[in-house]
Structure 1
Amino acid sequence: MAQRFSSRTQSKLGTGGGRTPRDRARRELSQNFLVDRHAVESFVALANPCGLVLEPGAGEGALTLALAGHGAEVIAYEIDPLPAAKLTARTRRHPEIRVVQGDFLRARPPRTPFAVVGNIPFSATTEIVDWCLNAPALTSATLLTQLEYARKRTGDYGRWSLRTVLSWPRFTWTLHNRVPRSAFRPIPAVDAAILRIDRRPHPLVADRSSFERLVRLGFSGIGGSIGASLKTRHPHADSALSAAGIAPGTVVAYVHPDQWLALHAALTG
């Protein structure tokens, strides 16, 4: 992983203690490279890359070469000049790989279909996911994230986040394999997981704006329940909630994204 965000490694060293400039750079750039060969192979197999693939935080290229080996055309982004230079030299004879020394978050999304596959810095997860969701030609994103983040975004705790619900009409979110922290160097403080985000072939809601307004109202927290929040603008919300199979007193986080679709249909149909 390599971006402009702080590290979350297990190291608790202070500013001294013999830390080298390279150690400090790794910490500042949140670099935790995936070094376990089996984890690399499993991750790439799950990503199933083909066509154009953008890789955030390529590091020295463990995933980059594996992605290209599976037939992908890879644009590898690495903000740290040293590993970027090493990767450039390492891939000089691979015309299917282009290395960009720069910040992935500043990249302009391609206009043609592409996927994002990467072992991303944990501290940049939200920004990278948002970049992916806002890229019109993105087909999928297969990302190594903190285990907790992946569980929250996929409803694995039985609760659903605002970000997941808002994007549900356009994207599916799937939690895949857990990756132990021991698979990385330096070793991070937490385990990781593979999060897969896929664009749906056809959006499930035609009026995206009205769906998002409804969801944001429900998540506003007014009244402490979804029924209380919705009644501030929808006096007859109880009948729509009933049609969607939602009890009015339900805490908003426990409303499944599919129920939000049914609720929207009941209120706008």
Structure 2
Amino acid sequence: MARNFAHGNYSHTQKKARNTGRTARDQTRRTLSQNFMVDRHAVDLMVKAAAPEGLVLEPGSGEGALTLALAEAGARVVGYEIDPRLAGQLAARTRNDPRIDVIRGDFTAARAPREPFAVVGNIPYSVTSKIVDWCLRAPDLTSATLLTQREYARKRAGDYGRWSLVTVESWPWFSWRLGDTIGRESFRPVPSVDSAILLLRRRPEPLIRGRRSYQELVELGFGGVGGSVRASLRTRYQGVDAALAAAGVPRDAVVGYVHPDQWITLWERLCG
């Protein structure tokens, strides 16, 4: 039986769709951003990327395709599913499998385990940022292997040649990498865009020790004062031009084009 660790009111999943062209089930899928993997090759790519072992938390277990594959690969899986119907069905299917525990509830409201664990999931597009933020805050998280909208994964991994605030700010503690693309045809219902595997890994040792001073530096740089990193940083720090030169950052560089490793050098010169 699924354990009810739900946080919040999910009664909306039981309401009838107003549009008579949709069933209540269709409305639930739309509301909860449900797109289930139906391609075994896609599941295998996720398992290969995650290399699961030990405790694995899975946000959005859905119909259980990835849940079962993770368990078969040797993981101890705790699957979170916000949809009561799906949670009950998966719990019933796996009730005799000691490797799998199904929790009916919102993953983003769950408490992180107090032991090393990984997160692996085909996550709803609509809550991607919330799940990523949850992972970054979890002290004992070792890795997160997330199937996200491809554009999101490319942005976070710097695949466009630009870097986002969340990536730069967490870079001393986490690496970000873009994995395989998984086409929209691998899901039902078929989404409007392709997905990609985003790999988030905690570094064995942090690249720096000054978390607060580093994040203050980065947030100021991304604040957009003056239109360039140089203009922003000069509002608070001395020796900015020398630091930019040491990091190989042009004086007119726009913040998104500064590589996370260059931010490490800037911190060392300005704050270290």
Please report the TM-score for the alignment, with normalisation by the length of structure 1: 0.94
**1:172-225 Cα distance to aligned partner (Å, 9 max, x none):** 000000000010001111100000000000111111100001101111100100
> What's the offset of the Cα at 1:18?
2.7
Residue 145 (1) aligns with residue 148 (2): yes
Q: Secondary structure at the match of 2:148?
A: strand
Aligned match of 2:89:
86
Equivalent-residue separation in structure 1 for 2:265 and 2:113 (angstroms): 34
* SS across alignment from 1:84: helix
Give the AA of the match of 1:64: T
One-letter identity of the residue aligned with 2:83: D
| Paired positions, count | 258
Q: Give the letter aligned to residue 96 of structure 2.
A: R
Q: 1:63 aligns with which of 54, 62, 66?
A: 66
Tell me the SS of whatever aligns to 2:86: helix
- Cα deviation for residue 235 of structure 1 reads 3.6
C-alpha RMSD of the superposition: 1.3
- Residue 95 of structure 1 is matched in structure 2 by 98
Unaligned runs of 5+ in 2: 1-6, 9-16
SS in 1 for 2:226: helix
CA displacement, residues 119-176 of structure 1 (integer Å, 9 cap, x when unaligned): 0000100000000000000000000000000000000000000000000000000000
Instruction: Confirm whether residue 128 of structure 1 aligns to residue 140 of structure 2.
Output: no
The CA deviation string for residues 75-130 of structure 1, in whole angstroms up to 9 with x for no partner, is: 00001011111101111121110000111111100010000000000010000000
| Aligned 1:220-235 pairs, distance under 5 A | 220-235=223-238
CA contact (8 A) 2:214 2:271 kept: no
Partner of 2:240: 237
Secondary structure in 2 matching 1:166? helix
* Distance in structure 2 (CA, Å) of the matches to 1:15 and 1:160: 41
Cα shift readout 1:212-263 (whole Å, capped 9, x = no counterpart): 0110111110010011111111242101111111111100100000000011
What code does the residue aligned with 2:259 have? H
C-alpha distance in 2, partners of 1:236/1:96?
Answer: 56
TM-score between both structures, scaled by the size of structure 2:
0.93
Q: Give the conservation status (yes or no) of the 8 Å contact 2:145–2:200.
A: yes
Q: Distance in 2 between matches of 1:149 and 1:229?
A: 26
Structure 2 match to 1:164: 167
In 1, Cα distance between the equivalents of 2:59 and 2:271? 40
Q: Distance in 1 between matches of 2:19 and 2:110?
A: 35
For 1:170-209, list aligned pairs within 5 A. Answer: 170-209=173-212
Q: Deviations over 1:4-54 (max 9, x none)?
A: 9xxxxxxxxx94243111111111111100110111111111111000000
1:110 aligns with 2:113: yes
Runs of 4+ in structure 1 off by over 6 angstroms are none
Task: Give the distance between the partners of 2:34 and 2:252, measured in 1 at CA.
Answer: 44
Which amino acid in structure 2 is aligned with residue 149 of structure 1?
Y
Residue 77 of structure 2 aligns with which residue? Answer: 74
